[in-house]
Structure 1
């Protein structure tokens, strides 16, 4: 079985037939509600669609999933079919033992086994897939039996909670300034640093930490949304995120003044050079871009030409794909309206931001010395900054709520009144709203991290291990140095 994905933007370039025009095919896809990224499953020999599987692809498309998610879900079915082909089976004729074999392959036997969280997502898609086939009478029953509590052969063995990983102040500064910003651990400039845009990485990390937004919500921000647009006053900013938010749930994101200033510094010192170098290339691609001619800052709308037609969009309703091709006429010619730009002049994608943090991690570990803060055991993620924001904000609000009340009994009584009479000011609910969590239950999981348990451990076991000359930081630095030497 071969797997392809719907990509309507390529029709005009590559569809060359006398039977049907590219415009008719695009109109048909739009009328049927077939979104870009919808998986299409083809027979390897005849290259004709496989009806039951393509029906599932259309079912996913009607769920209004974004393009990336549609592709990810489509690949899950493709991987299962590839594995089953080696067993002389396929996804439509699989039995329970086939699914058990596939689970073992993905989680244990393949070259890089997936973890519990990845398998949990895949098992959800596969369970939904077979449920769809049974509901549509394509299969008489699911291939796997249901056991206690609804578990089956696809169910993950471990029910894991959120992987909450947060940073200390020292760790964050080291990540930002040394890993992304090209400094040495002693705060001096590293003349050997060959990073393309250190200020871009610093600005991205400051906005991520200062807003607590998800990666897609801050990395796709447009200049007018951040207040970095002619005629806007500057300072702290607020913008509404919706199309780029998880589940499309809209909310207002507050960007503190210091984070905006960090972005402004990038715009002043680095961004113009990137824009100037890319202007000629963007001019050649103008036909495929959304060229904005009018920006209504107060109304949060933009108006311009897309595919030869005048279009108007609410900025919050613009998805990441549209934001990436949104440009305007700037000082050097066409330039992106997104804050962050890469060498091609347009907004960096997921792979680019992933490479930025990977290179930063390599640099941080290579430069680690005795002055370096204790680094996490696993490579850091952009999402760690969201977790850090949540914990710092929650801790601050809880401390502000507690106040200097010395009487613990009186404080407990005040808290009861606080939670019932002033729920609008509840720290947990405030943070939940800021993060855009669908339910406060998700925010509850941060509570176990709000106490500084590391310092409590240090105090409880001071002097138990080693001697007065050895500290945990020194032991960690030595272990890190030994690892580098072994490599």
Structure 2
């Protein structure tokens, strides 16, 4: 059994050697509306293997993200190979087979996977068997308890955040190629330092996830129509997690670094890539009209005239969106790679790893801030914004209460919602539930700071005991509540 992924442009490119007519590859893709990126399992005779191919088509019809389906496909492929070695298959496997597969992945194989990785795999397999049971392919689930297949552990959100000093070091030294003293490093061998710094600033000041900010298009930032110090706002939908729509606000400070990158680096990249993009014209969405008012792009895709709302364009479509310019074809993506198209997630991971190595090279410098054991991720910038925004809004809400003329007056529900720090941060980050946002509360202040302060105050006193220290802390908490 071999794994493939649907790509309509390839079927069109080789349409002259593939069967034509209603049963041709292109016709079947059109008639069944199978989107690009859908996994397909084929047997030795190049026929679809069922029912797994139908399950992935079902996921595609639910608009599941192609990257998500790809990860699911590798999970299913590993499971099928394991079951074949045991002389069984998906429809005949029993609980013992699946428990053996779990043990193989988490304990027996050369590099066992961690609990979080296994839980993601278990979720995929549970979803597959739910669908097989619902469609009647199997009489019942092989596992009697769905939770038994996962690790059963409930994990709290792990928040990693940066101080201002650490962030500037990450942005300017790691991504920007500077030395800790602010001078440009003569040994810097990176590429596009302004691009990395602009991306970090955009990630920090908007709280967008990597997939969200990496796929931003020029019209969404108002490039060409936005005035000087104006901020930008746009609707985020298809590229958001689970396609959950929200409005993104980009302050002018983030746009300043983006504008610098556009001026100093992006133009050169686009010019070098124009000829290569012209050869790939048939694969691209060539835009000839940008409607700023309605937020829509119109152009030619796969030989047909198409119009898309920018907010509803998935990352895959954005990656091939270009426009005609005086230099030739030019991508509409903000952040470009060497080929002139949108820089992908794996490339951004490489940029981040290179940045980490540069930061470690200056670890002995006294101006280098404390570095964590694990490399920083771009997602840590999202956590940093959440904590800083939550801390600022909480202080502002407390100050507003203090300034109220009549402390006995009641706050209306509308006022409570409008100024509630948790609800504001939830909207900014696009959390589906306030429960996720609540997890940040425990990171606002490190409780060990208070313990250290209490110990410093009491251990200097003669006869101080741990019981007295604990009583002192409790009295302090009670005084704060009464105040």
The TM-score bracket by the shorter chain reads 0.7 to 0.9
How much has 1:68 moved relative to structure 2?
A: 0.9
In the alignment, which of 425, 428, 431 is matched to residue 434 of structure 1?
A: 428
Q: Distance in 2 between matches of 1:461 and 1:390?
A: 31
Cα deviation, 1:245-291, whole Å, max 9, x if unaligned, reads 11222221000111000100001111111112111111222222122
How much has 1:92 moved relative to structure 2?
A: 2.5
2:373 is the counterpart of 1:377: yes
Q: Distance in 2 between matches of 1:208 and 1:11?
A: 37
Q: Hey, what does 1:446 align to over in structure 2?
A: 440
Structure 2 length normalisation: TM-score?
A: 0.87
How much has 1:36 moved relative to structure 2?
A: 2.1
How much has 1:440 moved relative to structure 2?
A: 1.3
Q: Distance in 1 between matches of 2:23 and 2:215?
A: 30
2:290 is the counterpart of 1:295: yes
Structure 1 runs (4+) greater than 4 angstroms displaced = 15-18, 21-24, 230-234, 404-407, 413-416, 418-421, 460-464
2:337 is the counterpart of 1:342: yes
Q: Hey, what does 2:68 align to over in structure 1?
A: 69
Q: Is the 8 A contact 1:211 1:254 kept in 2?
A: yes
How much has 1:40 moved relative to structure 2?
A: 1.8
Q: Distance in 2 between matches of 1:419 and 1:289?
A: 50
Structure 1 length normalisation: TM-score?
A: 0.87
CA gap of 1:415–1:73, structure 2 versus 1, over 3 A, is farther
How much has 1:208 moved relative to structure 2?
A: 0.4
How much has 1:460 moved relative to structure 2?
A: 4.8
SS at match of 1:141: coil
2:271 is the counterpart of 1:271: no
Q: Distance in 2 between matches of 1:138 and 1:207?
A: 48
Q: Distance in 2 between matches of 1:138 and 1:268?
A: 58
How much has 1:136 moved relative to structure 2?
A: 1.8
2:118 is the counterpart of 1:119: yes
| Aligned pairs (5 A) from 1:468-487 | none
Q: Distance in 2 between matches of 1:258 and 1:85?
A: 57
How much has 1:243 moved relative to structure 2?
A: 1.3
In the alignment, which of 189, 198, 205 is matched to residue 200 of structure 2?
A: 205
How much has 1:416 moved relative to structure 2?
A: 8.0
Q: Distance in 1 between matches of 2:27 and 2:408?
A: 62
Q: Distance in 2 between matches of 1:435 and 1:257?
A: 19
2:136 is the counterpart of 1:141: no
CA gap of 1:421–1:259, structure 2 versus 1, over 3 A, is closer
SS at match of 1:164: coil
SS at match of 1:403: helix
Q: Distance in 2 between matches of 1:17 and 1:404?
A: 72
Cα deviation, 1:316-359, whole Å, max 9, x if unaligned, reads 12111111111122342221111111110111011111111111
Q: Hey, what does 2:94 align to over in structure 1?
A: 95
More moved, 102-111 vs 431-440: 102-111
How much has 1:198 moved relative to structure 2?
A: 0.6
Cα deviation, 1:150-194, whole Å, max 9, x if unaligned, reads x54412232212222111111111111111010112222111001
CA gap of 1:326–1:404, structure 2 versus 1, over 3 A, is closer
Tell me how large the CA RMSD over aligned residues is: 2.7
Q: Is the 8 A contact 1:99 1:153 kept in 2?
A: no
Q: Distance in 1 between matches of 2:447 and 2:182?
A: 29
Q: Distance in 2 between matches of 1:279 and 1:321?
A: 20
More moved, 441-450 vs 282-291: 282-291
Q: Hey, what does 1:180 align to over in structure 2?
A: 175
> Where do 5+ consecutive residues of structure 2 fail to align?
459-483
How much has 1:223 moved relative to structure 2?
A: 1.2
How much has 1:10 moved relative to structure 2?
A: 1.4
Aligned residues: 457
CA gap of 1:421–1:338, structure 2 versus 1, over 3 A, is closer
Q: Is the 8 A contact 1:4 1:41 kept in 2?
A: yes
How much has 1:86 moved relative to structure 2?
A: 3.2
CA gap of 1:224–1:49, structure 2 versus 1, over 3 A, is closer
Cα deviation, 1:17-70, whole Å, max 9, x if unaligned, reads 464359953343233232222222233x43432222222222222222011111
2:85 is the counterpart of 1:86: yes
| Aligned pairs (5 A) from 1:221-232 | 221-230=216-225, 232=227
More moved, 97-106 vs 316-325: 97-106
CA gap of 1:448–1:382, structure 2 versus 1, over 3 A, is same
2:148 is the counterpart of 1:156: no
Q: Distance in 2 between matches of 1:9 and 1:458?
A: 63
How much has 1:378 moved relative to structure 2?
A: 1.5
Cα deviation, 1:195-225, whole Å, max 9, x if unaligned, reads 1111000000000000001112111111121
| Aligned pairs (5 A) from 1:17-96 | 17=17, 19-21=19-21, 24-43=24-43, 45-96=44-95
Q: Is the 8 A contact 2:19 2:25 kept in 1?
A: no
